[in-house]
């Protein structure tokens, strides 16, 4: 029998990706009695096991963990689950759900069929589905600059997803590149472990952990920030490109203040710009980056002040962050001779080469409205700011999954 005559296994819905987004979609599909398969190339929830460091913990409080039918039920709703607890929470969700999951099955191609629906080519054969939910995360390809190839082989280079702890690194100084959530927290982890850390600071903003007697997240929730859709946000879809604010839930939660680290001996630089004559080169702009991060910190607190005043809430007094350290001069170069390791924390780029459908913008990112694309029957789920701030997190993915499944119910009813 020729390949063209082969009749693939037919299902209503194929869900690509077995993380919290894919399993949330499965929850609502099961609820509606819709036949589906969740394809996962590794293990379900694998990123949480394989791509987080040992001291990793949630940045948002536990009460925001609201997967469908599986809210946080532990004893510390205002705390921040550490890696083992997060995995336990997710495993309990998977067990409760018992999804139609195919682990260890890689999807190599998804394409619309002429007769409608989609062909799905996998490492276990071909399938046909009327509808496809892409919940693979998408941003799986780490960003590493080309000049990294020219750095001395003696320097261990790893990406943030491969970092576990300070002990895995060779003796000597470490450069962390990037100051978003991962970069700032990994730099702190190394700093607390007694490593001599160099940090290339980008344009990530920061926020307070606690302000005026409460977690800032609690204030923002009361202020309706987490209900704001991408269409309502001042930046519109531009907010999807924003770097997350750095803060930590470590040891019960605290601010991350790069100035404090610098005062304690961490060496800060501007953004990394290249490698020449045995030295890494940095752009000017460290002072500006630190000032901008602090301005965001203070503006969020000022918005909370305004809310407290408008609602006539009793709370501890307002305050403004004042810098505890300022760079006297901005170092422009770092000789690589004394460097033992570099940890790249500059993010990921889209990896949708397997998805053969006209649903991408000029930057190779999915074009959609609340996860619904222009290709009938094709949806995205779990991406940052898919609909709201919580779309890529435990707090908002359930609402998005319920919405997408409702679209699927309507689409299947019209077939």
Query: How far, in Å, CA of 22 to CA of 57, rounded?
Result: 22
Token representation of residue 292: 């901008």
- Same domain, residue pair 153 and 268: yes
- Same domain, residue pair 289 and 366: no
Mean pLDDT, range 24-38, rounded to an integer: 97
Q: Do the Cβ atoms of 89 and 71 come closer than 8 Å?
A: no
- Same domain, residue pair 212 and 336: yes
Q: Is the pTM of this model over 0.75?
A: yes
Query: How far, in Å, CA of 184 to CA of 257, rounded?
Result: 9
Instruction: Quickly count: other Cβ atoms within 10 Å of residue 158's Cβ.
Output: 15
Mean pLDDT, range 200-218, rounded to an integer: 96
Higher pLDDT, 106 or 351: 106
Domain region containing 169: 143-344
Provide the pLDDT confidence category of residue 135 given band limits of 50, 70 and 90.
very high
- Same domain, residue pair 117 and 147: no
- Same domain, residue pair 170 and 73: no
Q: Is the pLDDT of residue 7 over 70?
A: no
Using CA atoms of 300, 306, 313, 391 in order, give the dihedral in degrees to the nearest 10. -40
pLDDT at 235: 63
pLDDT at 139: 67
- Same domain, residue pair 103 and 151: no
pLDDT at 3: 45
φ and ψ of 268, to 5 deg: -100, 145
φ and ψ of 162, to 5 deg: -100, -5
- Same domain, residue pair 276 and 299: yes
At 290-326, the pLDDT tens digits run 999 999 999 999 999 999 999 999 999 999 999 999 9
pLDDT at 241: 65
Measured N-to-C along each axis, helices 83-97 and 20-31 cross at an angle, to the nearest 10 degrees, of 20
- Same domain, residue pair 250 and 387: no
Query: How far, in Å, CA of 381 to CA of 371, rounded?
Result: 6
Q: Is the pLDDT of residue 208 over 50?
A: yes
- Same domain, residue pair 131 and 43: yes
Q: Is the pLDDT of residue 4 over 60?
A: no
Query: Domain ends where: 324, 344, 364?
Result: 344
Query: Domain ends where: 304, 327, 344?
Result: 344
pLDDT at 55: 95
- Same domain, residue pair 134 and 147: no
| Three-class SS state of 388 | strand
Mean pLDDT, range 385-395, rounded to an integer: 78
Q: Is the pLDDT of residue 6 over 60?
A: no
Query: How far, in Å, CA of 273 to CA of 183, rounded?
Result: 17
Q: Is the pLDDT of residue 270 over 70?
A: yes
Q: What one-character-per-residue DSSP string does 174-201 give? A: EEEE--SHHHHHHHHHHHHTT--EEEE-
CATH number at residue 196: 3.50.50.60
Number of domains in the chain: 2
Query: How far, in Å, CA of 14 to CA of 217, rounded?
Result: 35
pLDDT at 245: 86
pLDDT at 242: 65
Query: How far, in Å, CA of 84 to CA of 234, rounded?
Result: 37
At 97-124, the pLDDT tens digits run 999 999 999 999 999 999 899 999 999 9
pLDDT at 278: 93
In percent, the amount of the chain with pLDDT more than 90 equals 81
- Same domain, residue pair 159 and 262: yes
Query: Domain ends where: 344, 360, 375?
Result: 344
- Same domain, residue pair 337 and 228: yes
107 - beta bridge partners?
122
């Amino acid at each position: 029998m020729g390949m063209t005559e082969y009749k693939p296994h037919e299902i209503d819905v194929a869900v690509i990706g077995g993380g919290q987004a894919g399993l949330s979609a499965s929850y609502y599909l099961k609820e509606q009695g819709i036949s589906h398969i969740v394809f996962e190339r590794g293990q379900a929830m694998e990123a949480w096991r394989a791509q987080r460091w040992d001291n990793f913990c949630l940045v948002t409080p536990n009460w925001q963990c609201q997967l469908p039918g599986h809210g946080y039920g532990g004893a510390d709703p205002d705390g921040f689950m550490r890696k083992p607890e997060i995995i336990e929470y997710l495993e309990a969700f998977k067990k409760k759900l018992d999804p139609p999951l195919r682990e260890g099955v890689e999807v190599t191609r998804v394409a619309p069929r002429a007769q409608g629906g989609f062909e799905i080519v996998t490492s276990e054969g071909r399938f046909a589905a009327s509808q496809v939910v892409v919940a693979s995360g998408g941003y799986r390809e780490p960003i590493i600059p080309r000049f990294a190839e020219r750095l001395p082989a003696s320097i261990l280079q790893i990406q943030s997803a491969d970092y576990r702890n300070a002990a895995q690194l060779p003796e000597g100084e470490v450069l962390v590149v990037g100051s978003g959530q991962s970069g700032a927290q990994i730099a702190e982890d190394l700093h607390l472990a007694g490593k001599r850390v160099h940090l290339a600071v980008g344009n990530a903003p920061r926020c307070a952990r606690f302000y005026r007697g409460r977690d800032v997240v609690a204030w923002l929730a009361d202020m309706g920030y987490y209900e704001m859709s991408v269409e309502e946000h001042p930046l519109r879809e531009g907010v999807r490109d924003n770097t997350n604010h750095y803060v930590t839930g470590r040891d019960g939660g605290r601010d991350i203040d790069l100035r404090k680290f610098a005062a304690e001996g961490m060496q800060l630089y501007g953004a990394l710009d290249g490698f020449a004559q045995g030295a890494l080169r940095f752009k000017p702009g460290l002072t500006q980056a630190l000032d901008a991060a602090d301005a965001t910190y203070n503006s969020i607190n000022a918005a909370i002040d305004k809310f407290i005043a408008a609602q006539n809430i009793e709370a501890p007094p307002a305050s403004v962050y004042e810098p505890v350290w300022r760079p006297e001069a901005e170092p422009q170069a770092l000789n690589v001779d004394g460097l033992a390791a570099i940890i790249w924390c500059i993010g990921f780029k889209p990896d949708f080469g397997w998805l053969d459908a006209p649903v991408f913008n000029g930057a190779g990112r999915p074009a959609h409205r609340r996860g619904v694309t222009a290709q009938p029957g094709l949806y995205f789920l779990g991406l940052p700011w898919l609909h709201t701030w919580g779309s890529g997190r435990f707090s908002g993915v359930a609402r998005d999954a319920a919405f997408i499944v409702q679209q699927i119910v309507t689409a299947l009813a019209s077939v």
